[in-house]
Amino acid sequence: MSELSYAHGTSGTALLGDTIGANLDRAVAAWPDREALVDVPSGRRWTYARFGADVDRLAYALLASGIAKGDRVGIWAVNCPEWVLVQYATARIGAIMVNINPAYRTHEVEYVLNQAGISLLFASLSHKGSDYRAMVEEVRRRCPQLRETVYIGDPGWDTLVRRGTPDRHEEFQVRGSELSCDDPINIQYTSGTTGFPKGATLSHHNILNNGYFVGGLIAYSEQDRVCIPVPFYHCFGMVMGNLAATSHGACMVIPAPSFDPAATLNAVQQERCTSLYGVPTMFIAELNLPDFGAYDLSTLRTGIMAGSPCPVEVMKRVVAEMHMEEVSICYGMTETSPVSLQTRRDDDLEHRTGTVGRVLPHLEVKVVDPVDGVTQPRGTAGELCTRGYSVMLGYWNEPEKTAEAVDAGRWMHTGDLAVMREDGYVEIVGRIKDMIIRGGENIYPREIEEFLYAHPKIADVQVVGIPHERYGEEVLACVIPRDPADPLTLDELRDYCEGRLAHYKIPSRLRVLETFPMTVSGKVRKIELRETYAE
């Protein structure tokens, strides 16, 4: 009988029992003179000693502003040093930081301000045509709990910080003694495909340990310098980036307020970064820069690619041309802090592109039948579930939605279709809702996308199902061509697939596009492609 699709991560390294503040204290004591944070656009730099002092002063200021333990403090901003200071200062005093996507507009921001009950909001002034102050003014009358808004880059920031006088030290010490690592410390709104987003509520224990073990698996130390072009409002930036760095004494490097491929490679070169993060589309954009070869990336050794599967050809170039021999693939979701599976430093190319790794230390994963919940044999597709320290406390003030996602056994149901191999490595074969069912045949878009990436005319591809009268659904390939002047035709595409893919998997429709609709965190919005071309 085949082994079941269940695995747990044994480890000789204990979970951290710290709060985020206590863990930062340890880093400051161990590496006071090493750099903790560099903001390339402004040239500002912090050693661990200065970073710790600035975090504490902001924490004092929050106390002086009347922020109590458990109060919600929102941050609606692009990547900047102030974002990081707010992250650690709120944790210091047990306030719950609420991450707000910089792409949100008034309708969404108003919902989050009220749903989380935010009393103090930090916000950018403007970015890429967005006037955050005007949007806050538009909604604040309808947000009765919002007492104060502080704009980053405005005199209001300095005014707030000046409230953080030394006479708050005793209150600060008392507050610190009242905190537990199991306290809620962060709310992250997950982008729902229907209705309003849900606020995944995470503790110190959730996110500090996840950052610590993700960083440990790529051997972070105080020698590392981590380039973080992914957004801080997302777990990728603030947990896998910031907390992975500070829990190992590494340096956080901010290349730009939002992703810019040239600024990213410039930051790696200028700051001698050893690690670089991104979703595959970010790495593709960097590799495709006309002057890519001019950047000195020789200091890189590792990094993290996550968010969506990495095409084999892209991974080959990342390893060979970006010197990231130890690059790691991570898989997870906001509700699991986020990472539950990760490839290891010495994994081969096939494991890094064909799988999303194996279970992290101290966590459990299993693959179950989506209908009856029974654990599947290895090699059989089903829904991926995860359990352990990383599973969220719940959705903020939504117990019914929490119960839909986390079952009575505390297993988080991911909604992803997965196959666990005999060696425990896991392949993600699609979202349950992305799976195409054509004439009774289950089709996993990822398989077709991987096959089409090797076509010489295709730079990027997304496969979705659209309605069909006879078969229920048919396969649509949305393609970005390598050369816009010589786009792919449907006949060429079908000829390429003929005899190499089962007939029912061969796309019957083709759309040639300039770009894909993306989320701010760099994921392709497949639902938008499906809806746009459903007709």
369-411 pLDDT, tens digit per residue, is 988 899 999 999 999 999 999 999 999 999 999 999 999 999 9
Pairwise CA distance, residues 408 & 386, whole Å:
13
Per-residue pLDDT, 521: 61
Average pLDDT over residues 433-453: 84
Band the pLDDT of 252: cuts 50, 70, 90: very high
Band the pLDDT of 42: cuts 50, 70, 90: very high
pLDDT tens by residue, 277-288: 999 989 989 999
Q: Per-residue pLDDT for 294 more than 90? A: yes
SS3 393: coil
Residues 6+ apart with CB under 8 A from 297: 265, 268, 269, 321, 322, 323
Q: Per-residue pLDDT for 98 more than 60? A: yes
Q: Per-residue pLDDT for 77 more than 60? A: yes
Per-residue pLDDT, 148: 98
Band the pLDDT of 483: cuts 50, 70, 90: very high
Residues 6+ apart with CB under 8 A from 374: 368
Q: How far is CA 301 from CA 63, 274, 322, in A?
A: 41, 5, 8
Per-residue pLDDT, 194: 45
| Alpha-helical segments (H) within 117-167 | 132-139, 155-162
Per-residue pLDDT, 535: 72
Contact, 321 vs 298, CB < 8 A?
no
Question: Which phi and psi (to 5°) does residue 364 adopt?
Answer: -120, 145
Strand order across the beta sheet in which 412-420 lies: 6-8, 363-368, 382-388, 412-420, 426-431
pLDDT tens by residue, 114-124: 999 999 999 99
Contact, 82 vs 122, CB < 8 A?
yes
Q: Per-residue pLDDT for 78 more than 90? A: yes
For the chain, residues classed under CATH 3.40.50.980 are: 47-180
Band the pLDDT of 502: cuts 50, 70, 90: confident
| Alpha-helical segments (H) within 272-361 | 280-287, 312-321, 349-354
Contact, 339 vs 386, CB < 8 A?
no
Average pLDDT over residues 170-193: 91
pLDDT tens by residue, 338-366: 999 999 999 999 999 999 999 999 999 99
Token pair for residue 178? Answer: 């009242």
Mean pLDDT of the chain: 95
For the chain, residues classed under CATH 3.30.300.30 are: 441-533
**What burial class does residue 6 get, using C-beta atoms within 10 Å of its C-beta: 0-12 exposed, 13-18 middle, 19+ buried?**
middle
User: Where does 441-533 sit in CATH, by number?
Assistant: 3.30.300.30
DSSP state of 111: H
Amino acid at the residue 478: C
Per-residue pLDDT, 523: 78
Element (H, E) at 401: helix 399-405
Segment of 36-50, 430-444, 493-507 carrying the highest mean pLDDT: 36-50
Average pLDDT over residues 434-457: 86
Residues 6+ apart with CB under 8 A from 214: 239, 240, 244, 304, 330, 339, 342, 360
**What burial class does residue 340 get, using C-beta atoms within 10 Å of its C-beta: 0-12 exposed, 13-18 middle, 19+ buried?**
buried
Question: Which phi and psi (to 5°) does residue 26 adopt?
Answer: -65, -40
User: Where does 47-180 sit in CATH, by number?
Assistant: 3.40.50.980
pLDDT tens by residue, 192-229: 544 678 999 999 999 999 999 999 999 999 999 999 99
Per-residue pLDDT, 134: 97
| Number of helical H runs and strand E runs in the chain | 18, 28
Pairwise CA distance, residues 254 & 36, whole Å:
11
Pairwise CA distance, residues 70 & 111, whole Å:
19
Among 345, 237, 349, 239, CA closest to 282:
237
Average pLDDT over residues 139-168: 97
The strand pairing partners of 276, in sequence order, are: 227, 303
Per-residue pLDDT, 182: 98
